[in-house]
Amino acid sequence: MQELIDRILGMPKGQKIGILFAIIFILAAFYQMFVYSPRSVRIASLKDEIENARGERTKKVSLASNLPKLREESRKLETLLQQAVSQLPDKKEIPELLSSISGKARESGLEILTFRPQPENTRDFYAEIPVDIVVRGGFGSVVKFFDEVGKLDRLVNIRNIGIRNPQIKSGVVSIDVSSQATTFRFLDEAERKSLAAQKAKQKSKR
């Protein structure tokens, strides 16, 4: 492995940068295929699970006033609902989650150039919170950062990966990597009611 690295470092600068971009392209394709796409599917699956669990819970609760067996089934459905919702933090947990993401970048050996949360995008029962991130460091550190974010208990998608400004200093390759990390939070009951009212109002105007 060291011999391969030494051979690469001995190549002309243009070839080294070409190899660097090839590695980054493979990295981005790997992340898109094995991390981002599965998590997007998981979001859609979570929505179905939560809505199904809510519907079943409501049905069981209405029938369980004097039936212990149905009450027990209702408690089990509540547990399943909470397990699904647990992957989406509520509003008060978002600052801690964003701090964890930036901490993972530093722990991976990256310099954070930009870490800028964007306005939320509300959906039926959750809100998307995009964060523009630009980091600087070696591609090995970038791989480690993406891997650590993928291991977080909460759902976080990283997309729109861009590479620029590759530099080789003292045999060490440094790159600037821009991306958008999108995390999600669970809307509370008041927010869901407000969103439903807005949609009903917009529909009535059509």
Q: What average pLDDT does this structure show over 68-81?
A: 72
Structure tokens given for 112: 């954070």
Asked if the model's pLDDT at residue 86 lies above 80, the reply is: no
Mean pLDDT of 16-29: 63
Least Cα distance to 137 among 182, 104, 97 occurs for: 104
Round to whole Å and give the CA distance between 110 and 141. Answer: 6
Instruction: Tell me the three state secondary structure of residue 172.
Output: strand
Amino acid at residue number 174: S
Give the closest residue to 83 by CA, choosing from 182, 190, 186: 186
pLDDT of residue 202: 77
Q: In Å, what is the CA distance from 48 to each residue of 81, 170, 173, 189, 190?
A: 11, 52, 44, 18, 21
Residue in 122, 157, 151 with CA at minimum distance from that of residue 43? 157
Query: What's the chain's Rg over C-alpha atoms?
Result: 23
State both tokens at 200: 């009903």
What is the tens place of the pLDDT at every residue in 33-64? 555 556 666 677 777 787 877 777 777 666 65
Do 123 and 90 form a contact (C-beta atoms < 8 A)?
A: no
pLDDT for the residue 34: 52
List, in order of start, the domains of the chain with CATH numbers: 2-195 (3.30.70.60)
The model's pTM is 0.60
pLDDT in tens, 141-186: 988 999 998 888 788 888 888 988 888 877 778 899 999 999 888 8
Length of the chain: 206
